[in-house]
Structure 1
Amino acid sequence: MMKNVYLLRVFFEKFKPHILIILTEFGYTFLYFFTDASFKHGMNPHIHVTYRQIVATIALFPFAYFLERKSRPRITVALFLEIFVLSLFGLEAVDLRNPRGIAKVLGTLVSLGGAMVMTFYKGPIITNLWHPLIHMQHTATHHVHENWLKGSVLTVSSCISWALSYIMQAFTLKRYPAQLSLTTWMNLIGAAQTGVFALLTQHKPGVWKVGINIDLWCIMYAGIVGSALVVYIQLWCTEKKGPVFATMYSPLGAVLVALLAYFVLGQRLYVGSIVGGVIVLVGLYLLLWGKEDVHKLRDESIASNHVSHDEP
């Protein structure tokens, strides 16, 4: 029994970053459906983002203040300026002369290609084999307006900004290695930014009002899980493994959303989603295989340095 517990603990310690980052994708998957239901119910997206970041700030502040008060560096104007100027120069190291380095590049491109296939290619519809377990209802006034070009541009812009944010976070963590405090600052400043934008653009009466319904539960889940817990885990993984590791499981979220929508909500599943999902998994395998060698070499280098220092 003790041996099994020990082996389980060793396994978790070795694969903890992988387990945690996969759990964040599950957290985001449920968040997509919560926000979809809330928006169909009539919740304003700008107000939702403002409230969720306020909730995240309130939830994180006690932990950040007390747990990191001794280790938290002081933020200065010079630090902010340095981070702003230099953050764009952090990148993942890739050795194209090494097969595993090539695998990292190919894995990234293949995963991206699979996610794009899932987004832009539908193909034939796969017939639902049973009735949905959950029925998503929305107000009669809600209408979906499809704009393929606008949606594509916004999707690509979101991916680019998301990738840049991880690179910036990786550099910021080197100057400010306090994940809880950094997550709190990010949500506090984000709430102020979105709040000002919402005040300037949303003028309908009662737009800030939230009842005890799906809108409130969505805000609480999005704030505590999506903007607090998930972001903190991503920062931790970014500090331990780098920005590429923290983002390489992101295409898995598209696979999880498609599967959950089909098996639980009874939504349409297309052949393109299946094909894209398989491509994503192949790309993730290549990327993991390529990065595994990097970590082995790093650990061996650290071990050899310790041995050389201990030798007389």
Structure 2
Amino acid sequence: MNVVEGERSSIVDKWTPAMAVVVANIATGSVNAVVKKALDGGVNHMVIGAYRLAISAFILAPLAYFLERKIRPKITFRLLIDHFISGLIGGSLAQFFFMLGLAYTSANVAGAFTSMMPAITFALSLILRMESVRVLKSKSGMLKVIGTLICVSGAMLLTFYKGPQITHFHSHPEALHNNNNNHQSKTNNWLLGCLFSAIGVTFFCIWMLFQETLNMKYPCKYTSICLMSVFGSVQCALLSLYKRRTVNDWVIDDRFVLFVIAYAGIVGQAMTTVATAWSIKKLGAVFASTFSPIMLISATLFDFIISHTPLYLGR
């Protein structure tokens, strides 16, 4: 009986981190779709970033206090600097470039670049010597290289090849017309948006590798992500000044935008970041990043359902 229970426990321990990162990627894809719709309305993308990180900190603060107060190590100045860097890389800069790219392209194209996360993370881990170069000579190493090439090729295909339209919204002609006009007006910025998305994803990959090291120094996931969210929120507020310096940007009276901010803060930031950080701790940054293509599927489906974005053969 004890043997059976032990086997069940082993299976749960093995699959739970993988399922957590799968759910996190599905949730992130849905967040990207609704954020894209809000950005099309003219909202400053860094205002959304600042609010979602602030909400994340507000949600995680009580969890961090009650669940980790007995096991939480002392916060040193070095740890504060580490969490400031974590907020800068994974919070403010990643969101700054990724949501800027999202504004210029679409949720499914931005999601395509998240599919490059395994490739970028693997390449960075080799450059930073977090993964041995000798692994390239092994069977698993060769498979990782092949997977890297597939990731990059797929993202380039989604970027440069559109293909024929395979869906039509006869019942929503106005939405389709507006979407086509919006697409045409941003054609010239398409490649620029892809570049911004790639930079944003690269910052997130750097954060995943940094988080793997930070988890060893500071294993309290709720407190760690809460501190990251606090620093990231302030950084996003400062980065928002690059676009417009008006108080009106921070006054949100649109109910849909308020829903997007709340949803992005609770689901897209607090829940998914904690789940991702915990999965990185259990699986490692490179393996956790291999589930990122799920985000592309999720973003495409939610973008199709919410924004009525037409689907094309190439995408």
The question of a shared fold, defined as TM-score above 0.5 by the shorter chain, is answered with yes
Partner of 2:93 in structure 1? Answer: none
Partner of 1:243 in structure 2? Answer: 285
Q: Contact 2:82 / 2:214 at 8 angstroms: preserved in 1?
A: no
Q: Percent identity?
A: 29
How far the C-alpha of 1:68 sits from its partner, in A, is 1.0
Higher RCO structure (Cα 8 Å, ≥6 apart): 2
How far the C-alpha of 1:100 sits from its partner, in A, is 1.8
CA distance in 2, matches of 1:191, 1:136: 35
Q: Which has the larger radius of gyration?
A: 1
1:37 paired with 2:37, answer: yes
1:75-94 matches, within 5 Å, as 75-79=75-79, 89=128, 91-93=130-132
Partner of 1:15 in structure 2? Answer: 15
CA distance in 2, matches of 1:109, 1:189: 35
How far the C-alpha of 1:221 sits from its partner, in A, is 0.5
Partner of 2:138 in structure 1? Answer: 98
CA distance in 2, matches of 1:194, 1:159: 17
Q: Which amino acid aligns with 1:167?
A: L
How far the C-alpha of 1:69 sits from its partner, in A, is 1.4
1:1-312 matches, within 5 Å, as 12-79=12-79, 89=128, 91-93=130-132, 95-128=135-168, 131=171, 144-146=185-187, 147-199=189-241, 201-204=243-246, 206-211=248-253, 213-262=255-304, 266-273=308-315
Give the match's secondary structure for 1:271: coil
Q: Deviations over 1:243-300 (max 9, x none)?
A: 1122112122123322443466542222212xxxxxxxxxxxxxxxxxxxxxxxxxxx
Partner of 1:281 in structure 2? Answer: none
Q: Which runs of 5+ in 2 are unaligned?
A: 86-124
From the superposition, tell whether residues 200 and 112 of structure 1 become closer, same or farther in structure 2 (CA, over 3 Å): closer
Normalization by structure 2: what TM-score?
0.73
Q: Which amino acid aligns with 2:258?
A: L
From the superposition, tell whether residues 205 and 174 of structure 1 become closer, same or farther in structure 2 (CA, over 3 Å): closer
Give the match's secondary structure for 1:49: helix
Q: Which runs of 5+ in 1 are unaligned?
A: 274-312
CA distance in 2, matches of 1:190, 1:180: 15
Partner of 1:293 in structure 2? Answer: none
Give the match's secondary structure for 1:268: coil
How far the C-alpha of 1:21 sits from its partner, in A, is 0.9
Q: Deviations over 1:24-77 (max 9, x none)?
A: 111011101211222233322121111111111101000011211122222323
Q: Contact 1:90 / 1:170 at 8 angstroms: preserved in 2?
A: no
Normalization by structure 1: what TM-score?
0.73
Give the structure with the higher percent helix: 2
Q: Which moved more, 1:111-120 or 1:66-75?
A: 111-120
From the superposition, tell whether residues 126 and 201 of structure 1 become closer, same or farther in structure 2 (CA, over 3 Å): closer
Q: Deviations over 1:81-132 (max 9, x none)?
A: 6897xx9946244612321221123223323322332233212222438757
CA distance in 2, matches of 1:68, 1:121: 49
Q: Which moved more, 1:156-165 or 1:253-262?
A: 253-262
**What is the RMSD computed on CA atoms of the aligned residues?**
3.4
